[in-house]
Amino acid sequence: MQSIASLQASVQSISRFSNPCQISRGPLQIHRLLLGLILIFSTFPAAGFSQEAPQKPARVDQPLLLSQIANVETLEKHGRTLFEKCERPDMIPAMEMWLKNDLKELKGVDRTRPLGMMMYLGDILTEPMWAATFIPVTNVDEFLGWMCSMSPTPGTFQKVEGSADRWKVVFGESTTIHAVTRGNYLIMVGEAEHADRNFPDPGPLTEPFAARYDASFSGLLKNIPVGLKSVFLEFAKTTLRADLQQRDNEPAEGYRLRRAGGESVIKQFERMVSDTEEVTIGARLNRETMVATIELEVVGTPDSKLVKAFSAFPGRHSQFGALLDRETTLTVGVSTILEPEQQTLLQQVWTTAEQVLKKEIEKSIAAGKPGAPTDIDAFQPLFGALQRSTQAGLVDVFVQMIGAEQSQYEVVGGFRLPGGEEFPLALQKLVQLIKDRQPENDRLQKLELDVARINDFPVHRATLDPNGANRRLYGEDGGELAFLATPEAIWFAAASKGQAIAALRKTIDEAAKPADDTTRPERAPILVTAEISRWVDLIDRRGRAVETFKEESAIAFKGTGHQVRFRMKPSGDALKLQLEFDDGLVKLFGRLIARSQLGNEL
């Protein structure tokens, strides 16, 4: 009504000012006319929108770190299933009694929602981080009463006078907790001023993480102020570059190589800090399969250089693909492409290595040792193959450990190296040259060249040292190593005496078989699998703890899977590192917990 009255008054004023008779009297009347128009237009917002203009919502204080547990109910179900599957159902009543008697049934807690903690930066760099714990509650008073009763020093709580959503909890004379509600949550902090923050509702905040993980810890780097991130980044780069200065008496070649490697690391670090939005490590258990997964996920800013780097890191068809799915004690496979910066750095490495080797040969000749300046020519096929492989940008490597009994293991492997048709013979000539130039090296002199042929390529053999590891794997004599080169790769096999060439032949033959891609899961750029049951057999330590572990392992692994798998692969705007544990390992974990709780600690 006040706005309408103002408009009416303005109209009356303009009516007086706009009388034609008065306008003709001079400039003063024109000024009055303009003043009247201004008065009318100034009242339009008030007349057309009688309510006040909406204010911008208050800025929500987002945390830097976030830890969450999906909910209490899920953990209870996991516990029951775990003890049932590991054949320790006697632990279920004990778990239920612990919840009922020791935790007093978590009165006031909503067991179906996530709970956890948010961490915040101090207002200035010198202040420490502080925590805000969030608990889903069904009844605030009931929960606070439960919390006060659980402490060794009983506490009291009361509502803050004049506030509808704030409580103060006091334990003894020195500990005070300030609590405030947000949605269905109670958020607790240690300082009164922290309770004034505009906290986010923990429900929507934790929902994306609770949907994927039973428990997780996240760094929400997107919530770091841009200015603070820039200051940290510049400080870190300056510190790292200070260590890249040339050191006293450092050779120029070594310095250039170290400098190039350091600059590459700085560039990767800068990209990671600038373009990373979230870093999360989380764990989950599939109760149907009893497979547990631990995952590290790095999420980049959409369309950033980091995300483009992720997308350029896919799995590639491997020359050794037919071998990667066979049953082994350990398999490591890497099949991916190099980034341009990595290609440039590796090319510098090979060039520098060749230059350094040439200088060493010249120094050796000058010292009167056997050799000729042309010796460096024998290395050129090897360095040429390394340069061509780097230019192609492909990395294709595998290593496998095969066997189930001590002294009868085999370790085989290979890496792609496109050396060409002449490479196998060139490598043999290189090894022979090295032998001729070092007659005092007994181990090198025992290296046998062209002792057998596989697909018409020469196989070479060396004796391994009978040290502890070799004796456990290959027998008391330490075993032997066989290797050969093909136009596309270098292969090797280590095994017991007289068995290495046979292991190498079998591996190369199996690699030539067509891979069954129809049943194979998506190939990750980096893959590691390990049969833990076989590694348990290799433990040679003695003692009660080891014997107990082996006893429980034998029971848990019976009729179950006992493999650990590691994969690193891109996924949309993220890069994921996944570690999976088969059901047998999860059951072993449950049995060890049960044994510990009954007083039979490992």
pLDDT(47) > 70: no
SS (H, E, C) 52-94: CCCCCCCCCCCCCEEEEECCHHHHHHHHHHHHHHCCCCCHHHH
Residue 101 within any structural domain of the chain: yes
Q: Are 97 and 238 in contact (CB under 8 A)?
A: no
What is the C-alpha to C-alpha distance for residues 258 and 245, in angstroms, rounded to an integer?
9
Residue 548 within any structural domain of the chain: no
Does residue 491 share a domain with residue 349? yes
Does residue 469 share a domain with residue 323? yes
Cα 443 from chain centre: 42
pLDDT band at 337 (very low <50, low <70, confident <90, very high): confident
Does residue 347 share a domain with residue 494? yes
What is the C-alpha to C-alpha distance for residues 220 and 331, in angstroms, rounded to an integer?
34
Residue 247 within any structural domain of the chain: no
Q: Number of C-alpha atoms within 13 angstroms, CB side, residue 381?
A: 19
pLDDT at 152: 84
Per DSSP, what are the bridge partners of residue 561?
none
pLDDT band at 468 (very low <50, low <70, confident <90, very high): confident
Q: Give the residue from 162, 179, 202, 197 showing the smallest Cα distance to 69.
A: 202
Q: How many CB atoms lie within 10 A of CB 369?
A: 11
Residue 313: DSSP 8-state: -
Q: Exposed, middle or buried: residue 479 (CB in 10 Å: 0-12, 13-18, 19+)?
A: buried
Q: Give the residue from 153, 150, 149 showing the smallest Cα distance to 174.
A: 153
Query: Of 499, 522, 545, which residue is a domain's last?
Result: 522
Does residue 322 share a domain with residue 180? no
Q: Give the residue from 471, 444, 474 showing the smallest Cα distance to 460.
A: 444
pLDDT, tens digit, 9 for 90 and up, residues 186-245: 999 999 999 999 999 999 999 999 999 999 999 999 998 888 888 889 999 999 999 889
Does residue 335 share a domain with residue 207? no
Q: Are 457 and 489 in contact (CB under 8 A)?
A: no
Does residue 341 share a domain with residue 472? yes
Q: Under 8 Å CB-to-CB from 385, ≥6 apart: which residues?
A: 417, 418, 419, 420, 423
Note down the domain range covering 462.
316-522
Residue 304 in tokens = 């950033």
Query: Of 472, 500, 522, which residue is a domain's last?
Result: 522
**Which of helix, strand or coil describes residue 474?**
helix
Residue 266 in tokens = 């700085």
Q: What is the mean pLDDT of residues 424-451?
A: 88
Least confident of 177-181, 238-242, 479-483: 238-242
SS (H, E, C) 348-383: HHHHHHHHHHHHHHHHHHHCCCCCCHHHHHHHHHHH
Does residue 511 share a domain with residue 367? yes
What is the C-alpha to C-alpha distance for residues 184 and 140, in angstroms, rounded to an integer?
10
Residue 463 within any structural domain of the chain: yes
Residue 291 in tokens = 């497979």
What is the C-alpha to C-alpha distance for residues 475 and 464, in angstroms, rounded to an integer?
11
Query: Of 457, 489, 522, which residue is a domain's last?
Result: 522
pLDDT, tens digit, 9 for 90 and up, residues 370-417: 778 888 888 888 899 999 889 988 889 999 999 878 788 999 999 999
The number of domains in the chain is 2
Residue 329: DSSP 8-state: S
Amino acid of residue 470: N
Does residue 321 share a domain with residue 203? no
Residue 40 within any structural domain of the chain: no
Helix residue ranges per DSSP H, 221-291: 226-242, 252-275
Q: How many CB atoms lie within 10 A of CB 38?
A: 12
What is the C-alpha to C-alpha distance for residues 410 and 369, in angstroms, rounded to an integer?
38
Residue 172 within any structural domain of the chain: yes
CA distances (Å), origin 198, targets 57, 94, 138, 144, 176: 11, 41, 22, 22, 20
What is the C-alpha to C-alpha distance for residues 509 and 498, in angstroms, rounded to an integer?
19
pLDDT at 445: 85
Q: How many CB atoms lie within 10 A of CB 240?
A: 15
Percent of the chain with pLDDT over 90: 46
CA distances (Å), origin 402, targets 229, 463, 537, 574: 48, 19, 13, 34
Q: Are 279 and 221 in contact (CB under 8 A)?
A: yes
Question: Regarding beta strands 563-571 and 394-402, do their DSSP bridges make them parallel or antiparallel, or are they unpaired?
Answer: unpaired
Q: Are 92 and 594 in contact (CB under 8 A)?
A: no
Residue 296 within any structural domain of the chain: no
**Which of helix, strand or coil describes residue 510?**
helix
pLDDT, tens digit, 9 for 90 and up, residues 564-580: 999 998 888 999 999 99
Residue 33 within any structural domain of the chain: no
Q: Are 567 and 557 in contact (CB under 8 A)?
A: no
Does residue 207 share a domain with residue 336? no
pLDDT(177) > 70: yes
pLDDT band at 368 (very low <50, low <70, confident <90, very high): confident
Residue 109: DSSP 8-state: B
Q: What H or E segment, with its residue span, contains residue 551?
A: helix 544-556
